[in-house]
Chain A
Amino acid sequence: MAASPQTITRRPRWRRWLRTDMALAFLVILPSIIAVAIFIYGFIGWTFYISMTDWKSSVVDFTFVGLKNWIRLVGDRRFQIDLRNLLFYAIGFMTQCIVIGFILASLLDQKIKGEALFRTLFIFPFAVSGIVTGVTWNWLMQPATGINLLFANIGMEWFRPNWASDLRYGIWAVSIAAAWQFSGYVMALYLAGLRGIPNELREAASIDGAGTWGIYRYIIIPLLMPVTFTAMVLTGMNAIRVFDVVAALGGPGPGNNIDTLALNMYQTTFNAYRFSLGAAIGSVMLLLALFLVIPYLRSLQLETER
C-alpha cells in the first residue's frame, strides 16, 4: 500500500498531469482549438498579410509592399463614402432596433392575451433571409409604385421620398429595411431580460409611490443595461458587415449612396480581382469590429469579477 504514493511522486509532472480531468478536457477540445486557430485566427492573419502584398490580378503576387494598399484605401473616394455610410447606417439601425425592440418587449410584458402569437409575429422577420428582406423592400421603396402609392392614396402626394435611391438619405432607408428584420430579435433579448426582473422590485417601487414612468426610468431600464449593451454589440457587428440587404436593394446604388464596406470588399476582390486591396478592406472591417468587441469582453470580465 505504501508503495503507491511513492510511485506517484516518482512520476514526472507531465505524466501526473495527463491523468487529471484537465488533460481529458484539453484533449477533447483540442480539435476545436486547432480548427479555430487555423480557420479563424490563421486566416485573419493571412488576410492582414495579403493586404500588404501586391496581388492585384488573377496572377497571384506575394511581393511585399507594406502599407501601400492601406494608403490607397484611405484616399479612395468609395472607401470614404463607405465609412460615412457605415456611420449613418449604424446610428439609424442600432437606434431603431433598440428603441423598437424595447417598446415591443415592454408591450408584450403587460400580460396581454395572445402574447405567444404576437411574439412569433414580431420575431418572424428575423427568420427571413437578408436577401428576401432586401428584395421585398426594394419593391416597397420604388418611388413610383411602392409605399409612396399608399401615401398618394390618402392624399399625401407631397410626400414622395426616393427612399433607397435618394442620393443623400438612401442609406437611412436601408437602415429601415434592416431594422424591420432585426428589431424582433432585439425584442426577444429584452423580453428575456424583463422576465428576469423580480416582481418584488416593481411592487416595492410602486409602494414607494413610483408611477409607471418612474418604474421604467429608475428600475427597469437601469436593470436592463446589460441587455442593452449586448443588443448594441450585436446590432453594431451587424451594421459593420451588412451585405445582403444592401446588395438586394440595388447596392452600391446611384453614386454609391448605399454602398457598404462588405459590398466594396466583394466587388474589389472578386469583380476587379484586386485581392490585396480587398483584403485591406476586410482588415478594416475586422478592426472596426474589435472596437465593439473589446469593451464588451472587458465588461463581461468586470461582471464576473464582481
Chain B
Amino acid sequence: MQSRNRLSRREFMKFSAMSAGALAVAACAAPGAAPGAAPAAGGEAAAEGGGQLEIFSWWTAGGEVEGLNNLFDIYTREHPDVEIINAALAAQGAGQGGEMKALLETRMMGGDPPESFQVHLGRELVDSHVIAGRMQPLDDLYEEEGWADVFPADLMNVIMYDGHPWSVPVNIHRSNLMWYRPSKLELIGADAPPATWDEFFEMADALKEQGIPGIALSGAGGGGNGHTMESVILSVFGAADWPGLFDGSISWSDPRMTQALEIMNRLYDYAQPDYLSQSGTDTNDIMMTDDGPLLMISGDWLHGYFKSKEFTDYMWAASPGTDGIYLLLSDSFGLPKGCKYPENARDWLRVCGSKEGQDAFNPIKGSIPARTDADPSLYDEEQLWQMEQWKTNTLVGSLQHGAAAKQSFLVDYDQKLNDMIATRDVAATQEALVQAAEDAEFGQ
C-alpha cells in the first residue's frame, strides 16, 4: 500500500510545475479553455490499455483508507496493467478536505485534472466544478450500469443537475446524530437521551452541578461548530423548511434562525473545559475520557472510531429535535474533462457504483451503501439501523458537508460561527450570516 500513497518523483516534479503554472494558465486562457487544452493523446494511450489512474481523496486514516484500498484492490484485479496513484491529502483546513480541494483547484485550473476525485455529492460538486464546465456528464454510464434503479429516488434528485448525473456516490453518511453515554445519564437518573434541546439543557444543568460537561465542542479548527450548528438549525426549522434556507425562499434573518443561534450560543456554556484549544479529532477522544461529557453531535463515522478504540460506553440517536430526518452527505467520484485516461476513470466509476465495490468500501468505512441492494450480512448493528432509517426517514442534504450549499457559503458559515465563539453575540452573527446568504445568491 505504501507505494500507492507516495507520489513518484516524476509525478511530484510534474505537479510542482503544474501548480506553479496554474496562475500563468489562468492568465492566458479564456474561461473554460484550460481543461480542454489537456493532451488529447491520452485517449489513445488508454485505448492501448495500461496507463494510470490518479485518484484524489481526503481519506488518509483508519477505516477510510482501508475502504479506499479495498476499492483499489477490486480495480487492480480487473485492470492489472493500470498504475494507481493515490493522491490522498488529509482532511484539514476549512471544512472537510479543505487542503485537498485547494490543491485540486490548482490542478483543474491548470488543465491537468486527475482521473477522478472525491467530492461531496450535491452543491459542492455542482458549484465548484459542474457550472465551471469542467465535468463530463455520466448519462451513458448510469444507463449501462442501471444505477437509476438501485439508487433511491430521493438520492437521484441530489445526483442530477441540469438533467444529467455528474458523479457516482460511493457511500452515504448521516450528519444529525447524537452520541451519548448511558453511564452519564444514570448519574442524573435519566433513562433516555434528550429528545429536544430544552431537555438537553435541563440534563446539562443537573450534570453541571456534578462537574460534568454536557456536550463536547471543538473551538480549534475545522467544522466542528458548523456540524453541531446544522443539527441545531435542522431541529428548529424541520425537514420541510430546511431546503428553503438554500433556495432563497426562507431568509437567514428568520426569527427561527435567531432561536437556533441562541441554542448554539448557550451550548458553549456546557462544553468541556479547554474546548477552545481542541479540534474535532480531539473531541472524539475527550468523549471517551472518564470525566468526559454526556454527548456530542457527530456523523456516523464516529461509530467506527469508537469501535477501533474499544470504547463501549456509548449509544446513538438522532440529534435532539431531528428524529425522522436523515441529514445526508455522500462522497462521490466524478469524471473531469481533459483527464489523461478517461477510460480508466470510467472503469473506476464502475467499481465505485458496483454492488461489490460498495459492499467492500462501506462496512469498513462505517458508512452505508448508496445502493439499496447491498448485502446486509456485511454490516454491523449501527449500520443496519442507519440503513433502516435511510429507507423510512425524510432525506435532506447536509450543509456542513457540501450537499446543500456551495463551498463559498460553507466557508462563510464556518467563519461566522467561529467569530461567535469570541463575540458570543447572536445578533451580530445572524447579521453576518444574512450577508453570507446574500453573497451566495441563493435562488438566483
- Find B128's partner among A166, A251, A273 (CB 8 Å cutoff): A273
Q: B274 near A144 (CB under 8 angstroms)?
A: yes
Q: In the complex, what residue of chain A is closest to B134 when comparing beta carbons?
A: A58
Interface residues of A in 216-252 (CB under 8 A from B): 250-252
In Å, the complex CA distance between A166 and B406 comes to 32
Q: Given the known A-B contacts A58-B129, A58-B131, are A143 and B407 also in contact in the complex, defined by CB atoms under 8 Å?
A: no
Instruction: Judge if A95 is at the interface, Cβ distance under 8 Å.
Output: no
Instruction: Judge if B423 is at the interface, Cβ distance under 8 Å.
Output: yes
* Chain B interface size range: 35 or more
| Contact count A vs B, C-beta below 8 Å | 104
B contact residues around A271 at 8 Å (CB): 93-95, 98, 101-102, 407, 411
B contact residues around A251 at 8 Å (CB): 221
A contact residues around B273 at 8 Å (CB): 144
Q: A254 near B102 (CB under 8 angstroms)?
A: no
A contact residues around B421 at 8 Å (CB): 167, 254-255
Interface residues of A in 31-56 (CB under 8 A from B): 43, 46, 56
Q: A59 near B131 (CB under 8 angstroms)?
A: yes
Distance (whole angstroms) from the CB of A195 to the closest CB of chain B: 39
Instruction: Judge if B262 is at the interface, Cβ distance under 8 Å.
Output: no
Q: In the complex, what residue of chain A is closest to B422 when comparing beta carbons?
A: A255
- Find A142's partner among B277, B420, B422 (CB 8 Å cutoff): B277
B contact residues around A167 at 8 Å (CB): 276, 421-422
B contact residues around A252 at 8 Å (CB): 418
B contact residues around A193 at 8 Å (CB): none
Q: In the complex, what residue of chain B is closest to A255 when comparing beta carbons?
A: B422
- Find B132's partner among A59, A144, A254, A255 (CB 8 Å cutoff): A59
Distance (whole angstroms) from the CB of A283 to the closest CB of chain B: 15
In Å, the complex CA distance between A250 and B127 comes to 28
Most A CB within 10 A of own CB, among B94, B108, B127, B420: B94
B contact residues around A58 at 8 Å (CB): 105, 108, 127-129, 131-132, 134
Instruction: Judge if A267 is at the interface, Cβ distance under 8 Å.
Output: yes
In Å, the complex CA distance between A46 and B28 comes to 11
Q: Given the known A-B contacts A252-B418, A255-B423, are A60 and B408 also in contact in the complex, defined by CB atoms under 8 Å?
A: no
In Å, the complex CA distance between A57 and B133 comes to 12
Distance (whole angstroms) from the CB of A74 to the closest CB of chain B: 15
A contact residues around B134 at 8 Å (CB): 58
Q: B105 near A273 (CB under 8 angstroms)?
A: yes
In Å, the complex CA distance between A179 and B67 comes to 43
In Å, the complex CA distance between A142 and B277 comes to 7
Instruction: Judge if A64 is at the interface, Cβ distance under 8 Å.
Output: no
Q: In the complex, what residue of chain A is closest to B131 when comparing beta carbons?
A: A59
Q: In the complex, what residue of chain A is closest to B274 when comparing beta carbons?
A: A143
B contact residues around A88 at 8 Å (CB): none
- Find A255's partner among B98, B419, B432 (CB 8 Å cutoff): B419
Q: B132 near A165 (CB under 8 angstroms)?
A: no
A contact residues around B50 at 8 Å (CB): none
Report B263-301 CB contacts with A as 1/0, cut-off 8 Å: 000000000011011010000000000000000000000
Most B CB within 10 A of own CB, among A58, A162, A163, A250: A58
Q: B412 near A272 (CB under 8 angstroms)?
A: yes
Instruction: Judge if B41 is at the interface, Cβ distance under 8 Å.
Output: no
Most A CB within 10 A of own CB, among B23, B26, B277, B406: B277
Q: Is the interface of A mostly helix, strand, loop or mixed?
A: loop
A contact residues around B62 at 8 Å (CB): none
- Find B276's partner among A43, A165, A266 (CB 8 Å cutoff): A165
A contact residues around B415 at 8 Å (CB): 78, 256
Most B CB within 10 A of own CB, among A57, A162, A256, A272: A272
B contact residues around A144 at 8 Å (CB): 273-274
Distance (whole angstroms) from the CB of B189 to the closest CB of chain A: 30
Instruction: Judge if B31 is at the interface, Cβ distance under 8 Å.
Output: yes
Q: B31 near A165 (CB under 8 angstroms)?
A: no
Instruction: Judge if A164 is at the interface, Cβ distance under 8 Å.
Output: yes
Instruction: Judge if A291 is at the interface, Cβ distance under 8 Å.
Output: no
Report A257-290 CB contacts with B as 1/0, cut-off 8 Å: 1000000001100111110000000000000000
Instruction: Judge if A77 is at the interface, Cβ distance under 8 Å.
Output: yes
In Å, the complex CA distance between A166 and B277 comes to 8
A contact residues around B132 at 8 Å (CB): 57-59
A contact residues around B26 at 8 Å (CB): 60
Interface residues of B in 395-444 (CB under 8 A from A): 406-408, 411-412, 415, 418-423, 432
Distance (whole angstroms) from the CB of A42 to the closest CB of chain B: 9
Q: In the complex, what residue of chain B is closest to A275 when comparing beta carbons?
A: B26
Q: Given the known A-B contacts A57-B132, A143-B277, A270-B105, are A43 and B408 also in contact in the complex, defined by CB atoms under 8 Å?
A: no
In Å, the complex CA distance between A255 and B406 comes to 23
A contact residues around B411 at 8 Å (CB): 267, 271-272
Q: B408 near A257 (CB under 8 angstroms)?
A: no
B contact residues around A270 at 8 Å (CB): 101-102, 105-106
A contact residues around B93 at 8 Å (CB): 267, 271
Distance (whole angstroms) from the CB of B25 to the closest CB of chain A: 11
**Which chain A residues have a beta carbon within 8 Å of chain B's beta carbons?**
43, 46, 56-61, 77-78, 141-144, 162-167, 250-257, 266-267, 270-274
A-B contact pairs, 5 of them (CB 8 A): A57-B132, A165-B276, A167-B422, A254-B421, A270-B101
Closest 10 pairs between A and B when the two form their complex, measured CB to CB: A255-B422, A165-B277, A270-B102, A254-B219, A272-B411, A60-B31, A272-B408, A58-B132, A271-B94, A250-B220
**Which chain B residues have a beta carbon within 8 Å of chain A's beta carbons?**
23, 26-27, 31-32, 93-95, 98, 101-102, 105-106, 108, 127-129, 131-134, 219-221, 273-274, 276-277, 279, 406-408, 411-412, 415, 418-423, 432
Query: 13 other contacts beyond A78-B419, A167-B422, with CB at 8 A cut-off?
Result: A59-B133, A60-B32, A77-B419, A78-B415, A162-B274, A252-B418, A254-B220, A254-B276, A255-B422, A256-B418, A271-B94, A271-B411, A272-B407
